[in-house]
Structure 1
Amino acid sequence: MDPTDSPVGWVAKHIQEYIETDGRKGHRRWGVTTLLLTTRGRVSGLPRRTALIYGTDGERLIVVGSNGGGEEHPAWYLNLLADPAVEVQVAADRFAARAVEAEGEERERLWGLMAGLWKDYERYRTKTSRRIPVVILERVPAGG
């Protein structure tokens, strides 16, 4: 079953461009790299896809649940709390991954990495009372 894309118009357009070109258009956007993340809807059980800025920490991919500094966590983050098995697309590379929320000192280190890539993350942190999650995406070995 094909995933349902973000209901946000500009995000959905970004996703379609990314898919149609295997990331040749869309992987690099706004001066940063972006990936497509597909989660399983925590209520519907259906696949849901969004585009996110990412950074790297060795082989791991890092994403931030900023939701633009809004008071609510983004739906994709709530979905992966319910089911951390996700699908990722980085440019033309598509693979299964496991999502794990970073904690403690590792979270702070990874927050610094991501805030260095996207300066608005610091502004988002001042806009909200919630703790913005930092999520690690680890590739699942083929057949695993």
Structure 2
Amino acid sequence: MNHTVTDSPDPSVTEHVRRYLASGGRDGYLEGGTTNLVITTVGRRTGLRRRTGLFFGRDGDRLVLVASGSVPGRPELPQWYRNLLVTPEADVQVRAEYFPVRARVAHGAEYQRLWQLMLAQAPVYRHYARLAVQPIPVVVLERIEEQQ
């Protein structure tokens, strides 16, 4: 497996991720008014590991992401989301804890409940939703228990 990781093409995201990783999340966990994590996905076309920082919420022991992208109203969905649709297994760092997860897209009543949870946590999503050309996906990350 290729262990090389490519960071976001957005220099501000790359800088945030590097601060987060260098400090074990002490610098960058609370940024943009909410909690942040670092996720490493597998590129759907290249197979390369791709890393980015994202806002997240908690639903019990699950993590919740909103696939709004960094450009509100942009018609395409973010790369990390499109990567997870092809390879739902990823690695996440929350503060200093690093663990594997499996992603799935929320639907129906679960989607509505989690969307409201994320709106309450990060009101910026209201603005994104007004500009969106389609409903903004909500992604649930569930920890993959390591085999002993």
- Pick one of 70, 84, 89 that aligns with 2:88: 84
Per-residue deviation at 1:128?
1.6
What is the distance in 1 between the residues matched to 2:85 and 2:24?
A: 28
Greater CA drift, 122-131 or 98-107: 122-131
Deviates more, 1:68-77 or 1:81-90: 68-77
Quote how far apart the aligned CAs of 1:131 are: 1.8
Q: Which amino acid aligns with 1:82?
A: V
Q: Shift of residue 77 of structure 1?
A: 0.3
Matched, 1:96 2:100: yes
In structure 2, the partner of 1:125 is 129
- Counterpart secondary structure, 1:45: coil
Q: Match for residue 136 of structure 1?
A: 140
Alpha-carbon offset, residue 51 of structure 1:
0.4
Q: Following TM superposition, by how much is the alpha carbon of 1:3 offset from its aligned partner in structure 2, in angstroms?
A: 1.3
1:11 partner amino acid:
V
Separation in 1 of the partners of 2:106 and 2:118?
12
Q: Normalising by structure 1, what TM-score? A: 0.97
Moved over 2 A (4+): none
Partner Cα distance (1:113, 1:76) in 2: 21
CA-CA distance at 1:26 after TM superposition: 0.6
2:106 is aligned with what amino acid?
A
Number of the residue aligned with 1:38: 40
Task: Report the AA paired with residue 108 of structure 1.
Answer: Q
Q: Distance in 2 between matches of 1:122 and 1:26?
A: 23
Deviation at 1:30, TM superposition (A): 2.2
- 1:116 and 2:135 aligned: no
1:54 partner letter = F
Give the Cα separation in 2 of the matches to 1:30 and 1:125.
18
**Equivalent residue pairs, number:** 144
Structure 2 letter corresponding to 1:73 = L
Question: 3-state DSSP class of the match of 2:19?
Answer: helix
Instruction: Report deviation, 1:31.
Output: 2.4
1:52 aligned to 2:54?
Answer: yes
Aligned counterparts of 1:44 and 1:104: Cα–Cα separation in 2: 32
Counterparts of 1:84 and 1:19 in 2: how far apart (Å)?
Answer: 22
Deviations 1:38-68 (A, max 9, x none): 1000000000011000000000000000014
Alignment gaps of 5+ in structure 1: none
In 1: Cα distance, 2:113 partner to 2:4 partner: 35
